[in-house]
Amino acid sequence: MQINILTVGNLKEKYLRDACAEYLKRLQAYAKFTVTEVEEEKKGTAIIRKQKEGERILKKLASDTYVIVLAIEGKDFSSDQFAAKINQLGTYGNSHLTFVIGGSDGLSPEVIQKADLKLSFSKMTFPHQLMRVFLLEQIYRGFKIIRGENYHK
């Protein structure tokens, strides 16, 4: 399985970079991972920033990937349900997944329209940089569940 995390901006804080690096190291046993960062737009209104970031995201989306966007209005899963979804996608021909994390203003409507699945972690708003850690942890947990391996609860 090939999984790409496509995200706006880079990780500025060392503790977030360290956490992501640790999960990416652990995940190497389960799938091939890449992280693609697009530039965070600094100028203009929130709508303009989302639009410009969305254009950058769309240029990086492969045509053969199953697109999962992180969105508050998306479907929420338990960890077991999320693991089952990853397993189902891999089993039934969607072995290339791209998870998209928007910037601080969210995702443009054009990016959301490209989604095969909208995924919500919560109705709360979280910093987009922290969401990268949350996402990697849940993907890791999902693979542990799929394989029946122990993982702390």
What are the pLDDT digits (tens) for 35-71? Answer: 999 999 999 999 999 999 999 999 999 999 999 999 9
> Residue 108 has what pLDDT?
97
Examine the pLDDT at 140 and tell me if it is beyond 70.
yes
131 annotated to a ligand binding site: no
Residues 6+ apart with CB under 8 A from 44: 52
36 annotated to a ligand binding site: no
> Residue 67 has what pLDDT?
98
123 annotated to a ligand binding site: yes
What are the pLDDT digits (tens) for 86-117? Answer: 999 999 888 899 999 999 999 999 999 999 99
82 annotated to a ligand binding site: no
Domain boundaries, the chain: 2-147
125 annotated to a ligand binding site: yes
Q: Which amino acid is at 41?
A: E
CATH superfamily of 2-147: SPOUT methyltransferase, trefoil knot domain (3.40.1280.10)
Return contacts of 82-85, CB within 8 angstroms, 24+ apart.
82/138, 82/141, 82/142, 83/141, 83/142, 83/143, 83/145, 83/146, 85/117
